[in-house]
């Protein structure tokens, strides 16, 4: 049986290379391409379009990769598949990022595998086939880091998420994820609002996010504020 694949990556040259690699293998075909999470969800919800597997970068413009995965598996994409009587695709993340919180966020969103872009052609094809046929797969380096991550979660649950943040910054991020305003955070932690704003700016910079909404998404994906 042929496995149909939707490629989601904002770099057209990378997509072209992956398409060539996939279509050179018997039983694999690229059904479509998308340059953003929004485009991927729209493509999958379009009449007559379907894929068995979504091969997705996690760092995309606009909609975060984790948000796109969630939309595909439990949001608009899932509703479309229910309405059409089809099964949602499986998702394999292929990304340059191997940061612990990014990998865990992708898994929380529903990804079935995660490999690095440095993977060889053979590794990528093997991962595609494994995930498409119901398995899960991780690059060796990512598997090792996941083991260490979950060990640290067991021992230090509050420090495991976002190790680049200070304890105070992580505490404030958790309160942001719970919907607290700057004034509410200041009252709860007995800080000035100016101090809270400074901490939030540092959080944005360290997480490389542009605004409060994006920070909240990252925090909730990592289990903070829930």
CATH code assigned to 158-221: 1.10.10.10
What's the confidence (pLDDT) of residue 152? 52
CA atoms within 13 A of residue 132's CA, in its CB half-sphere: 21
Whether the CB-CB separation of 99 and 145 falls below 8 Å is answered with: no
Per-residue pLDDT of the chain (226 residues), as tens digits, is 899 999 999 999 999 999 999 999 999 999 999 999 999 999 998 888 889 999 999 888 888 888 899 888 887 766 776 777 778 899 999 998 777 777 878 888 889 999 999 889 999 999 999 999 999 898 777 776 666 655 554 444 445 568 788 888 888 998 998 888 999 898 888 888 898 999 999 999 988 888 888 888 888 888 776 6
DSSP-derived 3-state class of residue 57 = coil
Round to whole Å and give the CA distance between 135 and 137: 7
Q: Break the chain into its structural domains and give their ranges.
A: 3-147, 158-221
What's the confidence (pLDDT) of residue 156? 41
pTM, two decimals, is: 0.66
Q: In the CATH scheme, what architecture does the domain 3-147 have?
A: 3-Layer(aba) Sandwich (3.40)
Round to whole Å and give the CA distance between 29 and 49: 14
Whether the CB-CB separation of 88 and 95 falls below 8 Å is answered with: no
Round to whole Å and give the CA distance between 95 and 115: 7
Whether the CB-CB separation of 9 and 18 falls below 8 Å is answered with: yes
Whether the CB-CB separation of 36 and 4 falls below 8 Å is answered with: no
> C-alpha dihedral over 155, 156, 160, 162, to 10 degrees?
-170
Round to whole Å and give the CA distance between 40 and 77: 9
Closest CA to 7 of 68, 70, 61, 51: 51
Structure tokens at 162: 């976002």
């Amino acid at each position: 049986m042929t496995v149909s694949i939707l490629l989601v990556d904002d770099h057209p040259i990378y997509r072209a290379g992956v398409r060539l690699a996939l279509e050179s293998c018997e039983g694999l075909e690229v059904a479509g391409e998308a340059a953003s999470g929004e485009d991927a969800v729209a493509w999958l919800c379009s009449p007559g379009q379907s894929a068995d597997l979504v091969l997705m970068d996690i760092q995309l413009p606009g909609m975060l990769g984790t948000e796109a995965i969630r939309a595909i598996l439990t949001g608009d994409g899932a509703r479309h598949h229910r309405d059409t009587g089809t099964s949602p695709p499986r998702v394999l993340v292929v990304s340059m990022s191997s940061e612990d919180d990014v990998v865990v966020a992708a898994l929380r969103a529903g990804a079935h595998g995660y490999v690095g872009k440095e993977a060889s052609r053979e590794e990528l094809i093997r991962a595609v086939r494994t995930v498409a046929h119901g398995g899960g797969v991780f690059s060796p380096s990512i598997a090792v880091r996941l083991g260490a991550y979950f060990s640290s979660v067991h021992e230090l649950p509050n420090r495991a998420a976002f190790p680049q943040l200070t304890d105070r910054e992580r505490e404030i991020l958790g309160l942001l994820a719970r919907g607290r305003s700057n004034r509410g955070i200041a009252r709860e932690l007995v800080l000035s609002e100016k101090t809270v704003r400074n901490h939030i700016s540092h959080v944005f910079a360290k997480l490389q996010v542009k605004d409060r909404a994006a920070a909240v998404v990252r925090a909730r994906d990592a289990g903070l504020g829930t």
